[in-house]
A and B are shown apart, each in its own frame.
Chain A
Amino acid sequence: MAEKIGKHIAIYGKGGIGKSTTTSNISAALAEAGYRVIQIGCDPKSDSTNTLRGNNYLPTVLDSLREGNKIHLDDISVKGFGGVLCIESGGPVPGVGCAGRGINAAVNLLQELNLFEEFKPDYVLYDVLGDVVCGGFAVPIRDGITDRAYVVSSSDFMALYAANNLFKAINKYAPTGGAKLGGVIANSMKPGYHREIVEDFVAKTGTSIAGYVNRSIDVQQSELYGKTVIEAKPNSAQADIYRNLAKYIAENENLVVPNPLGSAELRDWARNWGDRIYDIESGVVGVAEAI
C-alpha cells in the first residue's frame, strides 16, 4: 500500500452517543487551526457531516454507486465549514441489503477515486456507525485504512459495552496491521460519579481518556442551527473543549492495543458499579468514599 496521506482516524461508539457531533466539532476545530480535513460518514443514515455543511443536500457514495454511472469526486463531496471535505458513504434502506458491505464498497471506491492524493488531507476522520456488529463495520480499522481509532462513550453501561466490543475488534485486527486505540472520548459527562466510571473502565482495559466533553446546551443549540459549536459559538467554553480534544487527537501518538473485558468480567464490573451508584445516590457514602 502506498504511503498514507494524512492521519486517518476512525471514531466509533454506540448509536446516539454523540459520535457525529464530536467528530464534526473535531473536524471543525482542526480546520480552524489551518489543517486540511476530510470527514467521511460511514453510516447509512448519512447525517454525519450535517452540521459541517449547514444541512445541505449531499449525494452519498453508495447512492451514486447504485446509479451505476461513472462517479467523480465532485459528485459525492462538498466543502463545509473551514473547507472540511464532507463525504457520506450512505447505505441501503433499513432492513434491506448489507450496510457492512456498503461501507466496505464506499471506502474502496474512495481509494479508487484517489481522494487522498487529490485532496492531500492532513487529517481524515471516519465517523463509523454504532457498534462493531459485523466484519463490514470493522473495515475502517482493518486493512491499514486507519491507523488509530477513538471511541466516544458516556458512562452508560451500553455505551461502554459498545466500546468494549470495539476493543475486541481492535485486539483482533491490530496484530495484522489494523488500527490501534488512541483513547476514549468521554462524552455527555455530568457532575458526580460519571467520570469515575469511565476512568475505571479505561484503567481495567489498559486504555486512556482522550478528553472529557461535558453535557452542554451549546451543543444542542448549535445542532439546531445546523452548525458545529466551533462555528456557531466559537467563543464558548464548549468550543474550547472541542479545540483541546482536537489538539490532543492531532498530536497523540500513544496508541495501544486494548485488553477488552470478557462478558462475565464486564457484567461483574457493571454490577459492582451498580452497587456503588446505589450507595452514592441513596446518600450512604460520598463519591470519594465510593470510589
Chain B
Amino acid sequence: MSNVIRNPRNGCALHGALQTVQEINGVVPVVHANAGCGVINYLANGGASSGTAKYSGFSVPGTAAQERHVIFGGASRLREQIKNTIKVVNGDLYVILNSCESAMVGDDVDAMTKEIVEQGEPVVDTLIAGFNGGTHYGYEHVLTDILKSIDNVKKSEYQKNSKLVNIFGIIPGKDPYWQGNLDEISRILEGVGLQANVIFGATGSYEDLSNAKNAALSIVFSRWGEQPAKLLEEKFGIPRVIRPSLPIGVEGIKELVASIKDVIQLDEDKLLSFIQKEEIYEKNLLRRVRDEIIENGLSKKAVIVGDEEQVIRIGGFLTEKLGVEITAAVLTDALKKDEEHETQNDELLKHISNNVYKSVDQKDINDIIRGSKPEVIFASALETRVASKLDKPLVEISYPIVDKLIIGKTTVGVKGLVTIIEDYFTVNREFENAKRDRLVKELKNETGNNQWYEKEDSYSRVRSNKGLYIRKQEFSVSNG
C-alpha cells in the first residue's frame, strides 16, 4: 500500500547532480529540463548556507524545455543552449545534466555533446535522469560520469603524485558543513604529509577533476563516494580506502591515518608530530569545558537523525565521549536495499544505538522521536516542530539547517569535536534559559507582580553565577 511521505528531505538525482556540479569552480552546469527542475533545487535548499555557487539557483543555464520540446524532441534546443551558454558564460568545463522528460522522450543528449566536443569545446554530459534516484545518487553518478569522460575533453598530463589523495563522499549541501569539513580534511591530510584533492568549494576546481587520475589514493567517506573511487581504481589503478564516516576528534584522525597507512607509506616523524599536536589541542580544549559538560548534565538520552555518515560520526562521538545514550538513530540517506555499494555499517551502527531506523518520512521520524523519549534531539531544522512539542532542545547537525549561517565551520576532526560540544552546550543552555524565563513568567502571573519583583531582583543577582545555582533558586521560588 502506498503512503504519503511527509517532508522528504532528499531531492531527485538531477538535484544531486546539480548541487554537486555547481560547487566546482570553473564548472558550468547546463540543465536540459523544464524551467522548474533546476530552480526548485535552489528553493528547496533555501538555507542560509546554500545556493552560494557562481552558477546556482536562478543563474543556472538551462533549456527551459516546453511542451513542443517534449513532442518534437528537445535535442536541437539543447544544442542551441550549449552554444549560447559557451558564448555568454565563461567556464573551463560545461556539464550537461539530463532530466526526466528528456530521458523519457529519448533526446539524444550524447550526440549533442559529441557534436560540440568535436568543435573543440570542453563539454561532458550525464544521462542520469531525475527519476533514477535521489540527491545522493545524483552526486555519486554525476561525479563518476564526469571522471569517465573528462580526459576526452580536457587534455591533461598523466603524472602520478604520490601525495595526492582524492576525497569522495562529502556531498555539497547534503552535509551542511561540507566546506568546513573539506577544509579540515585537507588540513589533516596536509598535517600527515599528504595533499587533498577536494574538487569542491573554495579550494577545489575543475582541475582537481582532471588531476584525480594522478592521485595515490582515494578516500571514500560515505557510501555515496564509492562509484567514482571504483572507477579510478579500475581505470588508473588508484587504491581506495572506504571509511564509514569522516573522522572526529584525535581518535578519529588516528583511525583514518591507520587505514591510509595500510595502503600508502607516510612520513612517520611528521605523522607523530601532527598527532601529538592534535592531542594537545584536543586535551586543552576539552579540559576547558569538562566542568561545564558535567555541571550541565550533557550525558542525556538523545535521538539522532541524519545521513548515515553523520549518525556514525556524531552519534559515535556523543556516546563515546559525552556519555550520551542514543535511544534511536534515524538514517535519512539509507536505501531499503542497497546492492550498488560495498559499505556495510550495520555492526558499527549497533554500537551507537540499539534502535536504528531508515526513513525520510517526517511522520515516521516524529513518531520515532516521540517513542524514544529523548532529553535532547540531534537532527535538522525539520525536527524543530516535534522538538518544540516535546519541549526538548534541538541541536541541528544534519540537512536542512535553515536559521544558522554555516560557511566555514567544521564538524570534523578536533575542531569538529569542539563545534559539536559548543553547539550542544549553547543549545542546551539557551533551552534551559528559555524554560526558566517561562517559569518566571508563570510565577509572576500566579504570585502577583509586586510580590514577584523582590524575588526577581534576588533572582537577577544570582543570574550571573552558575546555571546550576540558578535552577536551585528557581526551585525555592516556585515552592515559595
Seen from chain A, the residues whose Cβ lies within 8 Å of a Cβ on chain B are 62, 65-66, 68, 91-93, 96-99, 101-102, 105
Given A62-B72, A65-B71, A96-B75, 16 new contacts (CB under 8 A): A66-B68, A68-B68, A92-B71, A96-B72, A96-B73, A97-B69, A97-B70, A97-B73, A97-B74, A97-B105, A98-B71, A98-B73, A98-B105, A99-B71, A101-B105, A102-B71
B104 near A: Cβ within 8 Å? yes
23 A-B pairs (CB sep. < 8 Å): A62-B71, A65-B68, A65-B71, A66-B68, A66-B71, A68-B68, A91-B71, A92-B72, A92-B73, A93-B72, A96-B75, A97-B70, A97-B73, A97-B74, A97-B105, A98-B71, A98-B73, A98-B104, A98-B105, A101-B67, A101-B71, A101-B105, A102-B71
Within residues 317 to 375 of chain B, which ones have a CB less than 8 A from any CB in chain A?
A: none
Q: Which of A66, A99, A101 has the most CB of B within 10 A?
A: A101
Partner of A66, one of B72, B75, B104: B72
Query: Contact at A98–B70, with CB atoms within 8 Å?
Result: yes
Return chain A residues, CB-CB under 8 Å to B68.
65-66, 68
Separation of A101 and B65 alpha carbons in the complex (Å):
14
Return chain A residues, CB-CB under 8 Å to B106.
96
Return chain A residues, CB-CB under 8 Å to B70.
97-98, 101
Name the distance in Å between A101's Cβ and chain B's nearest Cβ: 5
* Residues of B within 8 A of A (CB-CB), count: 12
Name the distance in Å between A237's Cβ and chain B's nearest Cβ: 42
Return chain B residues, CB-CB under 8 Å to A91.
71
Separation of A99 and B106 alpha carbons in the complex (Å):
12
Name the distance in Å between B206's Cβ and chain A's nearest Cβ: 33
Q: Which of A62, A92, A93, A96 has the most CB of B within 10 A?
A: A96
Seen from chain B, the residues whose Cβ lies within 8 Å of a Cβ on chain A are 67-75, 104-106
Separation of A96 and B104 alpha carbons in the complex (Å):
11
Q: Taking CB as reference atom, which chain A residue is nearest B68?
A: A66
Return chain A residues, CB-CB under 8 Å to B104.
98
Partner of B67, one of A93, A96, A99, A105: A105
Name the distance in Å between A134's Cβ and chain B's nearest Cβ: 10
Q: Taking CB as reference atom, which chain B residue is nearest A136?
A: B71
Return chain A residues, CB-CB under 8 Å to B105.
97-98, 101
Return chain B residues, CB-CB under 8 Å to A65.
68, 71
Q: Which of B69, B72, B75 has the most CB of A within 10 A?
A: B72
Name the distance in Å between B220's Cβ and chain A's nearest Cβ: 39
Name the distance in Å between B73's Cβ and chain A's nearest Cβ: 4
Q: Which of A92, A97, A99, A102 has the most CB of B within 10 A?
A: A97
Name the distance in Å between A105's Cβ and chain B's nearest Cβ: 6
Return chain B residues, CB-CB under 8 Å to A96.
72-73, 75, 106
Q: Taking CB as reference atom, which chain B residue is nearest A134?
A: B104
Separation of A66 and B69 alpha carbons in the complex (Å):
9
Nearest 7 interchain pairs by C-beta: A96-B73, A97-B73, A102-B71, A97-B72, A92-B72, A98-B105, A101-B70
Name the distance in Å between A76's Cβ and chain B's nearest Cβ: 15
Separation of A101 and B72 alpha carbons in the complex (Å):
9
Name the distance in Å between A223's Cβ and chain B's nearest Cβ: 29
Separation of A105 and B70 alpha carbons in the complex (Å):
10
Name the distance in Å between B34's Cβ and chain A's nearest Cβ: 13
Return chain B residues, CB-CB under 8 Å to A102.
71-72
Q: Which of A92, A98, A102 has the most CB of B within 10 A?
A: A98
Separation of A97 and B69 alpha carbons in the complex (Å):
7
Separation of A102 and B67 alpha carbons in the complex (Å):
9
Separation of A99 and B72 alpha carbons in the complex (Å):
8
Return chain A residues, CB-CB under 8 Å to B75.
96
Q: Taking CB as reference atom, which chain A residue is nearest B66?
A: A68
Return chain B residues, CB-CB under 8 Å to A66.
68, 71-72
Separation of A68 and B68 alpha carbons in the complex (Å):
9
Separation of A118 and B68 alpha carbons in the complex (Å):
26
Separation of A93 and B106 alpha carbons in the complex (Å):
13
Separation of A102 and B73 alpha carbons in the complex (Å):
11
Name the distance in Å between A94's Cβ and chain B's nearest Cβ: 11
Q: Which of B67, B69, B71, B105 has the most CB of A within 10 A?
A: B71
Separation of A105 and B69 alpha carbons in the complex (Å):
12
Q: Taking CB as reference atom, which chain A residue is nearest B75?
A: A96
Name the distance in Å between B278's Cβ and chain A's nearest Cβ: 58
Separation of A192 and B106 alpha carbons in the complex (Å):
45
Separation of A91 and B68 alpha carbons in the complex (Å):
10
Name the distance in Å between A109's Cβ and chain B's nearest Cβ: 10
Name the distance in Å between B99's Cβ and chain A's nearest Cβ: 14
Separation of A91 and B73 alpha carbons in the complex (Å):
10
Q: Taking CB as reference atom, which chain A residue is nearest B69?
A: A97
Return chain B residues, CB-CB under 8 Å to A99.
71
Q: Taking CB as reference atom, which chain A residue is nearest B105?
A: A98
Name the distance in Å between B105's Cβ and chain A's nearest Cβ: 5
Separation of A92 and B70 alpha carbons in the complex (Å):
9
Return chain B residues, CB-CB under 8 Å to A93.
72
Return chain A residues, CB-CB under 8 Å to B69.
97
Name the distance in Å between A107's Cβ and chain B's nearest Cβ: 12
Name the distance in Å between A103's Cβ and chain B's nearest Cβ: 9
Separation of A62 and B69 alpha carbons in the complex (Å):
12
Return chain A residues, CB-CB under 8 Å to B72.
62, 66, 92-93, 96-97, 102
Separation of A196 and B75 alpha carbons in the complex (Å):
49
Separation of A91 and B71 alpha carbons in the complex (Å):
7
Name the distance in Å between A111's Cβ and chain B's nearest Cβ: 15
Return chain B residues, CB-CB under 8 Å to A105.
67, 71
Q: Taking CB as reference atom, which chain A residue is nearest B101?
A: A98
